[in-house]
Amino acid sequence: MMTYPELFRAHIVYSLEHPEQRKGQALFNYLHENKQTRAFANEIRGTKLDPFYNDSVIGDVLAKLCIRMIKAEESA
């Protein structure tokens, strides 16, 4: 299981590899392509937290994801 810092780094690499995508679009696409975060991406799709069309929610998305990953680690 990927840690939050590893996931964050992988997202940055994905963004650099896809410069044609906006930051929020790249974040959503990365989350959806990653098996570990696909369910989370589907959960936020079409909501106020969907970063695909709204870069301003990136911080909120990452915070929610970080909290979720910490809780998953604690319960494992």
Question: Hey, is 6 helix, strand or coil?
Answer: helix
Percent of the chain clearing pLDDT 90 (strictly above): 79
Residue pair 18/29 in contact (Cβ under 8 Å)? The answer is yes
Which is nearest to 30 in space by CA: 5, 50, 55, 10? Answer: 10
pTM over 0.85: yes
* Tens digits of residue pLDDT in 25-58: 999 999 999 999 999 999 999 999 999 999 999 9
Mean local confidence (pLDDT), 55-72: 93
Residue pair 14/2 in contact (Cβ under 8 Å)? The answer is no
